[in-house]
Amino acid sequence: MGERDPIGVGLVGYGLAGRAFHAPFIEGVDGLALHTIVTSDPGRAAQAATEHPTARIVGEVEDLWDHDDIQLIVVAAPNRLHAPIGLRALAAGKHVVVDKPIAVDTAEGQTLIDAAEATDRVLSVFQNRRWDGDFLTLRDLIEQGALGAVDSFESRFERWAPAGDGWRDGAAQAGGPVRDLGAHLVDQCLVLFGPVERVWAQIDRRRPGSQVDDAAFVALDHASGVRSRLWMSLIASRTGPRLRVRGLSGEYLKEGLDIQEPRLVGGVLPTAPGFGDEPPDAWGTLHAADGTVTTIATRPGRYIAFYESMRDAIRGDGVSPVDPRDSLQVLRILEAAERAAGTGQAQSL
The mean pLDDT of the chain is 94
pLDDT of residue 1: 46
Give pLDDT, residue 163.
79
In a domain, 1, yes or no: no
The backbone torsions φ and ψ at residue 99, rounded to the nearest 5 degrees and listed phi first, read: -70, 165
Neighbours of 288 (CB within 10 A): 14
Q: Does residue 325 fall inside a structural domain? A: no
For residue 193, pLDDT beyond 50: yes
Query: Which residue segment(s) compose the domain that 30 sits in?
Result: 7-126
List pLDDT tens digits, range 286-313. 999 899 999 999 999 999 999 999 999 9
Q: Which of 92, 126, 160 is the last residue of a domain?
A: 126
- Reported residue count of the chain is 349
Domain co-membership, 93 together with 164: no
* pLDDT value at residue 44: 97
Residue 30 lies in a domain: yes
HSE at residue 55, side-chain half, CA atoms within 13 A, is 31
Q: Mean of the pLDDT values across residues 179-208?
A: 95
Residues 108 and 139 in one domain: no
Residues 83 and 152 in one domain: no
Residues 181 and 57 in one domain: no
Look at residue 318 and tell me if it is in a domain: no
The reply to whether 315 falls in a domain is no
109 and 144, same domain (yes or no): no
- Answer yes or no: is pLDDT of 186 > 90: yes
Number of domains in the chain: 2
Q: Stretch 97-120: mean pLDDT, rounded?
A: 97
Distance from C-alpha of 169 to C-alpha of 176, rounded to nearest angstrom = 5
One domain, residues 163 and 252: yes
In a domain, 319, yes or no: no
Q: Is 105 left (phi over 0), alpha (psi -120 to 50) or beta?
A: beta
Question: Cα separation of 155 and 142, whole Å?
Answer: 15
CATH code for the domain in which residue 187 is found: 3.30.360.10
**What's the CATH number where 11 sits?**
3.40.50.720
The 10s digit of each residue's pLDDT in 111-154 is 999 999 999 999 999 999 999 999 999 999 999 999 999 999 99
Integer Cα distance of 46 and 37 in angstroms: 11
The answer to which of 36-40, 68-72, 166-170, 211-215 has the lowest mean pLDDT is: 166-170
Shared domain for 12 and 112, answered yes or no, is yes
pLDDT value at residue 72:
98
Band of pLDDT at residue 238, cut at 50, 70 and 90 = confident
Q: Give the model's confidence band at 262: pLDDT under 50 very low, under 70 low, under 90 confident, else very high.
A: very high
Domain co-membership, 100 together with 159 = no
Q: What is the mean pLDDT of residues 153-181?
A: 75
Q: With H, G, I as helix, E, B as strand and everything else as coil, classify residue 74.
A: strand
pLDDT at 167 over 50: no
pLDDT band of 170, cuts 50, 70, 90: low
Task: Decide: helix, strand or coil at residue 77.
Answer: coil
- pLDDT for 209 equals 86
Q: 165 falls in which pLDDT band (50, 70, 90)?
A: low
Same domain, yes or no, for 220 and 342? yes
Q: What is the largest CA-CA distance in the chain?
A: 64
Choose one of 70, 94, 126: the last residue of a domain: 126
Instruction: Classify residue 2: in a domain, yes or no.
Output: no
Domain boundary among 126, 141, 165: 126
Say whether both 261 and 188 belong to one domain. Answer: yes
Residues 208 and 80 in one domain: no
Is the pLDDT at 162 greater than 50? The verdict is yes
d(Cα 329, Cα 153) in Å, to the nearest integer? 19
- What contacts 254, CB < 8 A, 6 or more positions away? 134, 137, 138, 241, 242, 243, 244, 284, 285, 298
Same domain, 138 and 59: no
